[in-house]
Amino acid sequence: MGSLIELEKYAQINHVPIIQKDGLEFIINYIKENNVQSVLEIGTAIGYSAINMALINKNIQITTIERNETMYAEARKNIRKFNLQKQITLILGDALDKNVQGQYDLIFIDAAKAQYIKFFEKYKHNLAPKGVIITDNLNFHGLTKAPETIHSKNLRALVNKINKYKEFLKNNKEYKTDFYQVGDGITISKKIEKG
Ligand code: SAH
Ligand code: MG
């Protein structure tokens, strides 16, 4: 039997950046209200968000991609514990190298923050009509507000990349994005219908 609390504990002890509680609740509500049936997730980690989404109802199908072998193995084990192998398809590999077939109602981008624009541009082609792209960690723990105060060069570069992604979303002519101050900062991007 799987236990979500066990997964949360494991994440905390091992510093796995699983989605925050209110961010998760926000996405779960979106899935319910919009009757989302298919999800493509970029960044599985230990499977926590994928398992939570699959548990909403049995008709939801999730494909999730993870490049780290240790995380992948842990996610595989967890998905089995919850007996969700039929609902969750786990792919090992870099999401920028893999090609996924099919169209998804929801694409959840939650992997390497520096690559967000690339993930968006690549996977928008897998979006179903009226589908949305949801991105997590746009606040990056509050750091995106004042990048000049960050001393570590690498961290500053990462934060600047996240801010570039925000600009990319704001200026996007194809997709309209709403920003939500929930969890660690979440966006919902929808294709603009021409008409
Ligand atoms: N969605 C998870 C948390 C994901 S943490 C949850 O909320 O439960 C981010 C994960 O993305 C890490 O495990 C990392 O290894 C993975 N990742 C980062 N870049 C990736 C890439 N290019 N392709 C696939 N996985 C990637
Ligand atoms: Mg996240």
Number of domains composing the chain: 1
Residue 94 CA, closest ligand 1 atom number: 23
**Which pLDDT value is given to residue 23?**
96
Contact 178, 132 (CB under 8 A): no
> What is the reported pTM?
0.96
**Which pLDDT value is given to residue 143?**
81
112 alpha carbon – ligand 1 mean position (Å): 6
Domain that holds residue 186: 4-191
Contact 106, 134 (CB under 8 A): yes
Contact 111, 42 (CB under 8 A): yes
Residue with CA closest to ligand 1 atom 15:
68
Q: What secondary structure does DSSP assign to 136-195, as a single string?
A: --SSTTTGGG-GGG---HHHHHHHHHHHHHHHHHHT-SSEEEEEE-STT-EEEEEEPPP-
CATH at residue 158: 3.40.50.150
180 alpha carbon – ligand 2 mean position (Å): 14
- Report the amino acid identity of residue 81: K
Ligand 1, residues 42, 84, 90, 108: which to mutate, most atoms within 8 A of Cβ? 42
Q: Rounded to an integer, what distance in angstroms lies between the CA atom of residue 195 and that of residue 183?
A: 35
Q: Is the CB of 75 under 6 A from ligand 1?
A: no
Q: pLDDT by residue for the chain (195 residues), tens digit each? A: 899 999 999 999 999 999 999 999 999 999 999 999 999 999 999 999 999 999 999 999 999 999 999 999 999 999 999 999 999 999 999 999 999 999 999 999 999 999 999 999 999 999 999 999 999 999 987 787 787 888 888 888 889 999 999 999 999 999 999 999 999 999 999 999 887
Q: Is the CB of 68 under 6 A from ligand 1?
A: yes
**Which pLDDT value is given to residue 147?**
79
Contact 119, 111 (CB under 8 A): yes
Q: Rounded to an integer, what distance in angstroms lies between the CA atom of residue 123 and that of residue 58?
A: 25
Ligand 1, residues 25, 67, 99, 165: which to mutate, most atoms within 8 A of Cβ? 67
**Which pLDDT value is given to residue 137?**
93
Q: Rounded to an integer, what distance in angstroms lies between the CA atom of residue 40 and that of residue 46?
A: 16
